[in-house]
Structure 1
C-alpha cells in the first residue's frame, strides 16, 4: 500500500474496455491444465494463471520482459469468521475489505514452464493474504494512516521498468441469477471499472444463463488485447447477443 498519490498522468498506451464470453468447457480445460494429480486448482486461480502465461507468451508484443499479475482478495470471509468469535470486532463494519496481492516474474520464465507451474506461483502469492492475520494488519495500517488516501501499489504499475501489471478480480459472488427488477431476470451482468490507472484490470463473472459459462470484462491496452485474441480466439469470444441466449 502507498499513501503518496501522484497526480493523474496521461499514459503512453491508453486502455480500452472489451467483454468476452468464455464457454464452460474452455474454463474446465484451463482448470485441468492448471491442476495436477495431487492438487486441483480453483477455476478462478487457474484462469488467472492462464492469462498470466498467455500475456507472457506474447511478451514481445506487449512490450515488457517482466509481468506483474495481481489478484483481488476479499477479506470479509476471514473477518466474518473472526466476528463469530468476537461480536464487537467487526459488527459495525460496512463495505468491502479488499487486498490486492501480486507476484512478479520474468516473461522468459513464464514461457518456459507449464501452466500448472504458473498456477503454483499464483497460489503462492495469493495464499499469503488469505488469512485473518493479513487482514487484521491491513485494517490496522489503514487506521494508522487515515484520513490519508491509499491504494494498492500495483495500481501504479505503468512504468516500463517495473513491467506490465494486470489485476484479476472475481465477481462470482454477485447473485446475477437472483436479481429481478420487475421485468424478469437479467440475461447479462458485468463490470465497468474506470479506475484511471495504467494497470490492466480483468473481472470474471458467471453467465446469467447459469450453464457454467463466464462473462469476462477486460480493461487492457491494444497490444494485450491483440495477444489474447490472436493466441486464444477459441477461448475469448467477443460478447454478442447470440452468446447470451
Structure 2
C-alpha cells in the first residue's frame, strides 16, 4: 500500500488556491452524507447550502478541479466524492503519528474518522515512561526515545502534536528532523518550522474567544434595539401629551 512519504497531493502543482483547498473537505463531508443516503446527483445550490458556502463560490472552486455540473441535472455525487478525495490525497494510505497521549491525544487516537478518511494511526508516542506499552485505542504507546525510528519504519510524513505547550517545539523539531513534512498542532503555541513543512494549528481557546466576541456583539445589538424601542415609545407618549405634559382634552364632535 502506498504511504504518505512517496505520494503528495497534486493540488499545489495544479494551481488550486489555498482557500479552495480549505473548502474541499467541507464539500467532501456534504457529498459523503449524500452518498450514504444513495442520492445520485445534487445541484450546486443544494451542495453549497449543505457545505455552508454560496453556490457561485462552489462553482468557482469546482472549476479548478475541471468539474462542471450538467445543466438541469447537477453534479454526480459519487464522481465528485472520488474527484475531491483524489485531489486531497485521500485515495491512498497516510500513516500518522500522534505525540502526546494525554486526555486530548487519547481522544484523538480513539477518533473513528481517521480510517474512513484515508488516515491510519501508525503509532502513539509519549514521553512518560509509565505510558510505554499501555494500549490506547488498541495501539501500544511507545516512548519518545524511539520517535525517529518509528517515523522511519512507518514511512510517516504527517505528525500530530498533542503535548503541553512547553514540549511542542522540541517535538516539532524532532519530527521535522526525522522527515515529517506536515504537522497538525493542538498545543497552545506557535511552532517554528523550515520552508517546505506545513503546519495546521487547532486552538480551541481561540475558537471560543471568537465565539465570545460574536456573543458580545449580539448582546450589544440587542441592547441597542431595546433602547431604540424604548426611545420610540417615549417619543410617542410625549407626542400624545399636551405642551405641559397633560393629555389634551378631547374636542366635542
Name the TM tier (shorter chain): under 0.3
> If the length of structure 2 is used for normalisation, what is the TM-score?
0.24
Higher relative contact order (CA 8 A, sep 6+): 1
Which is higher, the Rg of structure 1 or of structure 2? 2
Structure with bigger helix share is: 2
Structure with bigger strand share is: 1
> If the length of structure 1 is used for normalisation, what is the TM-score?
0.24
